[in-house]
């Protein structure tokens, strides 16, 4: 059995499969053959740690990657990466397009680097052309003869900022920006450009699906589509809200019994590595922290009663962790800085509006927040001081503490909530407004 891993950048669940935006027929085509995971979450709503968690089956802090790979952070051991693991079991491995787990893709253990430069971010415009050319290169590789099983990772720059210019095919007056972004003409125009990026990604997904179907490879291949975290809008990417940690995920394998259906149940992306192992008949390595989700897919049996996520570094330091059950979420901040960290919010019209409206001066964050997601899915009412939620708070707090202990989270014993960054890493000051500014600690 082969694996093809398709991934977009900064998409969250802000996609038609989850009820937003215009049609993405190619992704819909995959969902008709596979399972749409409605309760999938990343382990970290920032790029490198999120992908690292999926591809090692560990919390990012357990894998040693606490920040962005292109800013000086690395895995403790790259043999933990799925590509290296599969290669050690006789798989031919190929990377095409974006990766975000290493400063140099040669560190990841792939046999082949296809298409354009397979580094993490520094691409020449137009990025949609780069994605499409890489999709064709990946499809050509799929059409080649392979003597044994293979693993292909195809990563798109879409839907990362900057979004493409609107060619007039998406009318901003007929859509609404993602919640909680304010409904203004500027934000609608920005959301329209995001939708155009989704369409471009969908075309690329279709190129690879065509190759799989034309070669008959859908009969012996596991196909995963997902993304790293929420979209690059304020209160989404780099936050522990569901808008930040919730991710789209479609999983297909031959004979999947829930084909074409949505599957509820909490799933963390760290569960995908052990799921692959079970599907491929490979012994699970000792480092895995997730669980196979085949019981959920094949018998409707929940595999998690809680998922965990966190942030340590993004552009700037912002240490926080959360535990989420089906109904409740506890978010805990570990720094003494209880104000927004603007460098961790991507530049956008929505960010400009917030800054002009006094966001930094008028927003104070709670050290701990407890949300009842049935009564308050928007995560706006902190129940931490409500006596009716005392037992729930105590339970979630114990769970979070236990998880941090079991995964050797460095925040457990960090003095003043400060985990040191690697020597030479680029970290913006917390007060820095834009991540691209040369304003580092």
125-174 pLDDT per residue, tens:
578 899 999 999 999 999 999 999 999 999 999 999 999 999 999 999 99
Cα separation of 400 and 24, whole Å?
Answer: 37
Q: How confident is the model at residue 417 (pLDDT cuts 50, 70, 90)?
A: confident
Nearest CA to 189 among 298, 387, 384, 352? 352
| DSSP string covering 382-435 | --TT-GGGHHHHHHHHHHHHHHHHHTT-GGGG-GGG-PPPPTT---B-TT-S-T
Q: What is the chain's mean pLDDT, rounded?
A: 95
For the purposes of burial, counting CB atoms within 10 Å of the CB of 375, is it exposed (0-12), middle (13-18) or buried (19 or more)? exposed
Mean of the pLDDT values across residues 196-218? 97
Nearest CA to 384 among 322, 329, 337? 329
Mean of the pLDDT values across residues 213-240? 98
Mean of the pLDDT values across residues 264-286? 98
Name the pairing type of β-strands 2-8 and 307-313. unpaired
How many Cα atoms sit within 13 Å of 179 on the Cβ side?
A: 8
Measured CA angle at 408 (ends 336, 329), to 5 deg:
60
Supply 121's token pair: 């971010």
Cα separation of 173 and 216, whole Å?
Answer: 42
The answer to whether residue 190 scores a pLDDT higher than 60 is yes
pLDDT at 440 (0 to 100): 84
Task: Say which residues have a Cβ less than 8 Å from residue 380's Cβ, sequence separation at least 6.
Answer: none
Chain centre to alpha carbon of residue 329: 19
pLDDT at 119 (0 to 100): 47
The answer to whether residue 120 scores a pLDDT higher than 50 is no
Q: How far is CA 254 from each of CA 98, 220, 427, rounded to the nearest angstrom?
A: 27, 7, 44
The answer to whether residue 380 scores a pLDDT higher than 90 is yes
The answer to whether residue 437 scores a pLDDT higher than 80 is no
Q: What is the share, in percent, of the chain residues with pLDDT greater than 70?
A: 98
Nearest CA to 92 among 113, 110, 114, 116? 110
Mean of the pLDDT values across residues 261-279? 98
Mean of the pLDDT values across residues 378-403? 98
Q: Is the peptide bond before 162 cis (omega within 30 degrees of 0)?
A: yes
Q: How far is CA 400 from each of CA 24, 87, 329, rounded to the nearest angstrom?
A: 37, 34, 10
Dihedral angle sign, alpha carbons of residues 346, 347, 349, 351: positive
| DSSP string covering 179-230 | TTS---HHHHHHHHHHHHHHHHHHHHHHHHHHHHHHTTGGGSEEEEEEESSS
pLDDT at 125 (0 to 100): 59
Mean of the pLDDT values across residues 428-435? 92
Supply 68's token pair: 């962005």
Q: What is residue 343's three-state secondary structure?
A: helix
* Cβ 45 vs Cβ 12: under 8 Å: no
Cα separation of 155 and 242, whole Å?
Answer: 23
Q: How confident is the model at residue 117 (pLDDT cuts 50, 70, 90)?
A: low
| DSSP string covering 71-99 | GT---S-GGGSHHHHHHHTT-EEEEEE--
Name the pairing type of β-strands 92-97 and 267-268. unpaired
pLDDT at 413 (0 to 100): 86
Cα separation of 191 and 118, whole Å?
Answer: 28
pTM over 0.75: yes
Mean of the pLDDT values across residues 357-363? 95
Across 226-230, 368-372, 407-411, 430-434, least confident range: 430-434
Across 51-60, 304-313, 380-389, 416-425, least confident range: 416-425
Across 10-14, 199-203, 334-338, least confident range: 334-338
22-58 pLDDT per residue, tens:
789 999 999 999 999 999 999 999 999 999 999 999 9
């Amino acid at each position: 059995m082969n694996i093809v891993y398709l991934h977009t950048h900064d998409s969250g669940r802000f996609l038609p499969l989850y009820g937003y935006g215009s049609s993405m027929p190619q992704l819909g085509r995959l969902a008709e053959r596979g399972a749409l995971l409605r309760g999938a979450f990343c382990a970290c709503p920032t790029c490198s740690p999120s992908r690292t968690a999926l591809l090692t089956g560990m919390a990012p802090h357990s894998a040693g990657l606490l920040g962005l790979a292109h800013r000086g952070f690395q895995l403790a051991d790259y043999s933990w990466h799925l590509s290296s693991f599969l290669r050690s079991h006789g798989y031919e491995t190929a990377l095409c397009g974006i990766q975000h787990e290493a400063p140099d893709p040669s560190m990841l253990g792939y046999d082949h680097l296809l298409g354009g430069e397979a580094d993490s971010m520094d691409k020449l415009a137009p990025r949609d052309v780069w994605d499409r050319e890489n999709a064709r290169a990946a499809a050509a590789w799929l059409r080649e003869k392979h003597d044994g099983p293979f693993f292909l990772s195809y990563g798109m720059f879409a839907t990362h900022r900057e979004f493409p210019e609107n060619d007039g095919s998406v009318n901003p007056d007929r859509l609404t920006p993602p919640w909680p972004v304010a409904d203004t003409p500027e934000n609608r125009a920005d959301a329209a450009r995001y939708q155009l990026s989704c369409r471009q990604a969908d075309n690329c997904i279709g190129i690879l699906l065509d190759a799989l179907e034309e070669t008959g490879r859908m009969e012996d291949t596991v196909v995963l589509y997902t993304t790293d975290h929420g979209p690059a809008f304020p209160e989404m990417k780099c936050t522990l809200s569901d808008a930040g940690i919730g991710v789209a995920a479609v999983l297909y394998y031959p004979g999947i019994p829930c084909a074409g259906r949505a599957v509820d149940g909490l799933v963390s992306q760290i569960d995908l590595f052990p799921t692959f192992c079970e599907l491929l008949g490979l012994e699970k390595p000792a480092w895995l922290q997730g669980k196979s989700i085949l019981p959920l897919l094949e018998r409707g049996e929940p595999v998690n009663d809680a998922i965990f996520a966190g942030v340590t570094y993004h552009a700037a330091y912002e240490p926080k962790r959360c535990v989420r059950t089906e109904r409740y979420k506890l978010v805990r901040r570990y720094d003494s800085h209880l104000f927004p960290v603007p460098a961790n919010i991507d530049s956008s019209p929505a960010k400009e509006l917030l800054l002009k409206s006094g966001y930094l001066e008028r927003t104070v964050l709670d050290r701990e927040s407890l949300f009842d997601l049935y009564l308050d899915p928007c995560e706006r009412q902190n129940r931490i001081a409500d006596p009716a939620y005392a037992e729930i708070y105590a339970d979630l707090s114990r769970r979070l503490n236990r998880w941090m202990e079991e995964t050797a989270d460095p925040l457990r014993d960090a003095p003043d909530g400060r985990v040191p960054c690697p020597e030479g890493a680029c970290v913006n000051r917390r007060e820095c407004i834009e991540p691209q500014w040369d304003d580092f600690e």
